Amino acid sequence: MSGRFRWLSLLLVAGVAYAKAPAPAPPSDAEIPALTAALAEKLSGRTVFGTDGVEVKVPSILDTTRLERCLRTIGQADAWPAAWLVVQDMGRKDDLVVRVVRGTDGAILEPEPIFLTARRDWDDAALEAAVREATGQKPAGRARNLVVQSFTKAVTTNYVYELPKTGKEAKGLLALLPEGSLLRESAAIELGDGQRHTLAVVLERPSFLPADCSTPEGKKVGHRDEGGIVLVLAGDAALEDRLDVTDVVRAASGGARLPRFACAPGDEVPGVIDKLVEAKFQGREPVRLLKFGGGRAESELTGTSTVVGVKKVDGTFKLFAHPLTQ
C-alpha cells in the first residue's frame, strides 16, 4: 500500500517543574502487530460523520494494514507515547483525526476523540481549530505530536457471508452440500438420458468483494464474490459429481472470483454498500453465471474466461472445466 507521511513535533513550553511517572517507552517493531490488532478491535465498531453528514465506518478508512503503517509512522516520527494522527485517504474529501495514546501498561488506550473533518494544510493551528470544532475543547497535552499519514490506494473491504444451513438441517440441493457452502447458482441441464440433472456453482468460505464504482475499472468489473469455486452435478437425490475449479478460474482470469452484481447508481457513495450487505442484497439482480442451451452440456462461466460443463466418461457423467481459449 502506497503512502507518505510528515510530522510536526510541537512542544509547548511548560515553566513548572514537577515529578511525574516516566512516559512509557516507544513500542518495538515486534510489538507493533499486537498493538495494531488490539487497536483495530477498539475501532471495529466505531463510526464517524463526514462533513456531508454521511455516517462512515472507521475501518473503511483505517483498516488493519493502514493502521499498522500509521503506528510505525508514529514511531518514525518519535511521537510516542501520544500523537494526534491525521489519516488522509486521497480518494475522500475529509481527513480522519484520531488521538493515539500509549498507556503506562504499554497498551494503546481507547482512541478519543476520533472524527472526520475537512481536509486542510495541517499544523498546530489547524489541529487546534479542528479539535475545537469537533469537541468544543482545545487539543489535550502540553506536547502535541502531529503525525499526518496519507494513502493513495483505496481500502479493500471484504464482507463475509452469513451462510445457510447445509447437510441434514437443510432441504433440496443444500442438503447435499458440506458446511461452509453458499449455493451461488444452479441450472437444469439436459444430458440425454431422460433423467433430471442440476449443475450448480457453489462457493466455499465465500466473501463479498465490493467494487469501487467511482472508477471506470470498478464499473467494468462490478461487485464480486470471492472464495473456493466448486461445481456440483446432482440428480434427484444424490450428488453425481463434484469438481473444484478454483485453480482453473484463477489461472484463466487472475483470481478466484465470480461476478455478483453490476455497479448501480449511488454505489460509489460511502455507506451504501454497508446497507446493501445488511439488507442481504434485497432488490439486486445477481449476474447470471450459467447459460445452457442448444443441446450443449457446457457453458461459459460468466466473468471468469472459463468454460464448464458435463461429459460422459466410461458411461458416467463427469464435470469438466477449462480456459475459454482452450
- Residues 26-53 have a mean pLDDT of 93
Cα-Cα-Cα-Cα torsion 160, 87, 80, 36, nearest 10 degrees, comes to 10
Residue 274: CB partners within 8 Å, gap ≥ 6?
A: 57, 60
Scanning the structure block, which residue is given the C-alpha cell 493551528? 125
- Residues 136-161 have a mean pLDDT of 81
Give the CA distances from residue 306 to residues 197, 242, 289, 318, in Å, rounded to whole numbers and listed in that order.
21, 17, 11, 17
Residue 5 has what pLDDT?
57
Residue 230 has what pLDDT?
96
Residue 302 has what pLDDT?
96
How far is residue 98's CA from residue 104's CA, in Å, rounded to a whole number? Answer: 19
Higher pLDDT, 4 or 203: 203
C-alpha cell, 128: 487546534
Largest distance between two CA atoms of the chain: 94
How far is residue 61's CA from residue 96's CA, in Å, rounded to a whole number? Answer: 8
Residue 175 has what pLDDT?
87
Helix, strand, coil % over all residues of the chain, rounded to 5: 20, 35, 45
How far is residue 177's CA from residue 232's CA, in Å, rounded to a whole number? Answer: 9
- Residues 22-50 have a mean pLDDT of 91
Total length of the chain: 326
- Please report which confidence band the pLDDT of residue 159 belongs to, taking 50, 70 and 90 as the band edges: confident
Residue 183 has what pLDDT?
94
Output DSSP code: residue 112: -
Q: What percent of the chain has pLDDT over 70?
A: 90
- Please report which confidence band the pLDDT of residue 143 belongs to, taking 50, 70 and 90 as the band edges: low
Least confident interval from 16-20, 54-58, 107-111, 134-138:
16-20
Question: pTM of the entire structure?
Answer: 0.58
CB-count exposure of residue 99 (10 Å: 0-12, 13-18, 19+): buried
Output DSSP code: residue 60: G
How far is residue 156's CA from residue 61's CA, in Å, rounded to a whole number? Answer: 10
How does pLDDT run across 267-291, given as a tens digit for each residue? 988 778 888 888 889 999 999 999 9
Query: 189: how many CB neighbours lie within 10 A of its CB?
Result: 20
- Residues 106-114 have a mean pLDDT of 95
Residue 6 has what pLDDT?
55
Residue spans per domain, the chain:
3-151, 159-323
How does pLDDT run across 111-129, given as a tens digit for each residue? 999 999 999 999 999 999 9
- Residues 76-104 have a mean pLDDT of 94
- Please report which confidence band the pLDDT of residue 27 belongs to, taking 50, 70 and 90 as the band edges: very high
> Please, what is the average pLDDT of the chain?
88
Query: 32: how many CB neighbours lie within 10 A of its CB?
Result: 17
How does pLDDT run across 174-220, given as a tens digit for each residue? 888 888 899 999 999 999 888 999 999 999 989 999 988 888 888 99
- Please report which confidence band the pLDDT of residue 163 belongs to, taking 50, 70 and 90 as the band edges: confident
